[in-house]
């Protein structure tokens, strides 16, 4: 069984069919690329997968369990985490706190424990801190752990978003243009980190990217969207040879 199985997914805003008849099947451990020109509906698919929007048709299964109809918080707990194209950090919290928020559902002490600083509270908080620090290390953010997120340079903000998503302990990680606005060196470094994380944590990744070359270099499978519909899907070599894909990208 595929980890994520999406069938005939669609949503319309008023008259606009932003996404239509999209099928997607991602195996456990895969690095899957979602590409397409501006306005193709890539981010909308993420919003559908994470419960921000409810689909007007189609089904979304994670490990065979329905995701549509669930709230974003429930979907997060089912094991799907994401980053945002327009960065959404908790700006006035520190880097460490940003990641600690993501452990929300992995610690269970009560409000009273927190008020009385019980043993249970102290043990759980220490563990969260340790785990959060470990994730920050992977993303080379340890030195900035006490910096407010808003004061991080742009590239590090992008990294922090990924670190935060990873901290929710997801099975499936959705990355919305993680390298946007980065220079080639930063992009290369980030992609290496993503590969490392994928191996280390054994997670499955769905990645939105504009840069065809970049995506085809690291992804095992691709789905190309155009005007909300599937243009092609499969392994990169074949998809990139597809004449429709070539026109969609180079045509106009």
Partner 1 sequence: MIEKIREKMTGRNRKLMMIGVMIVGYIACVFLAEGNLLNRQMKSLIVPLGINIILAVSLNITTGFLGELSLGHAGFMAIGAYTGAIFTKYVTWLSPFPAFLIAILLGGVMAAIFGVLIGMPVLRLKGDYLAIVTLAFGEIIRSVINAMDVTGGAKGLSKIPTYTTYTWVYLVIIVTIVVARRLLHSRQGRAIVSIRENTIAAEAMGVQVTRYKILAFAIAAFFAGMAGVLYAHNFSILKPDTFDYNKSIDILVFVVLGGMGSIKGSVIAATVLTILPEVLRSADDLRKLLYALALIVIMVYKSGNGKEMISRLLKKKEAV
Ligand X SMILES: Nc1ncnc2c1ncn2[C@@H]1O[C@H](COP(=O)(O)OP(=O)(O)OP(=O)(O)O)[C@@H](O)[C@H]1O
Residues that bind Mg ion (CB under 5 A): 42-43, 85
Q: Which residue has the tokens 């669609």?
A: 10
Closest-CA residue to 164 (of 186, 197, 191, 192):
197
Alpha helices in 91-183, H assignment, sequence order? 95-101, 111-116, 119-138, 154-167
The yes or no reply on residue 42 touching ligand X (CB under 6 A) is yes
Within positions 90 to 109, which residues make up the interface with partner 1, using CB under 8 A? 90-93, 97, 100-105, 107, 109
The yes or no reply on residue 36 touching ligand X (CB under 6 A) is yes
13-21, 25-33, 106-114, 166-174 -> range binding ligand X (CB under 6 A): 13-21
Taking a C-beta distance cutoff of 8 angstroms, is the pair 206, 26 a contact? yes
39-47, 98-106, 158-166, 231-239 -> range binding ligand X (CB under 6 A): 39-47
Residues shown for the chain: 252
Give the pair of three-digit tokens for residue 77: 């707990």
Tell me the Ramachandran region of residue 55: left when phi exceeds 0, alpha when psi lies from -120 to 50, beta otherwise.
beta
The yes or no reply on residue 71 touching partner 1 (CB under 8 A) is yes
Shortest Å, Cβ 38 to Mg ion: 8
Taking a C-beta distance cutoff of 8 angstroms, is the pair 210, 186 a contact? no
Judged by the rule CB under 8 A, the positions of this chain that interact with partner 1 are 43, 47, 50, 52, 71-73, 76-77, 81-82, 84, 86, 88-93, 97, 100-105, 107, 109, 111, 113-115, 117, 121, 124-125, 128, 164-165, 168
């Amino acid at each position: 069984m595929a980890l994520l199985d999406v069938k005939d997914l669609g949503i319309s805003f008023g008259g606009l069919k932003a996404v239509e008849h999209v099928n997607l099947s991602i195996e456990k451990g895969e690095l899957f690329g979602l590409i397409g020109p501006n306005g193709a509906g890539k981010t909308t698919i993420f919003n559908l997968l994470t419960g921000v929007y409810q689909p007007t048709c189609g089904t979304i299964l994670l490990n065979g369990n329905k995701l549509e109809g669930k709230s974003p918080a429930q979907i997060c707990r089912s094991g799907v985490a994401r980053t945002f194209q327009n960065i959404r950090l908790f700006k006035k919290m520190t880097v460490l706190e940003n990641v600690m928020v993501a452990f929300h559902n992995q610690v269970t002490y009560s409000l009273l424990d927190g008020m009385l600083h019980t043993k249970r509270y102290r043990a759980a908080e220490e563990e969260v801190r340790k785990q959060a620090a470990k994730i920050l290390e992977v993303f080379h953010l340890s030195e900035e752990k006490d910096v407010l997120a808003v004061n991080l340079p742009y590239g590090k903000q992008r990294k922090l978003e990924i670190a935060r998503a990873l901290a929710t302990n997801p099975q499936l990680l959705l990355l919305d243009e993680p390298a946007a606005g980065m220079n080639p060196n930063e992009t290369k470094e980030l992609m290496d980190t993503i590969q490392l994380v994928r191996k280390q944590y054994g997670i499955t990744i769905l990645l939105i990217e504009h840069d065809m070359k970049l995506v085809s270099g690291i992804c095992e499978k691709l789905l190309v969207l155009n005007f909300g519909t599937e243009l092609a899907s499969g392994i990169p070599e074949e998809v990139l040879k597809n004449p429709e894909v070539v026109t969609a990208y180079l045509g106009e």
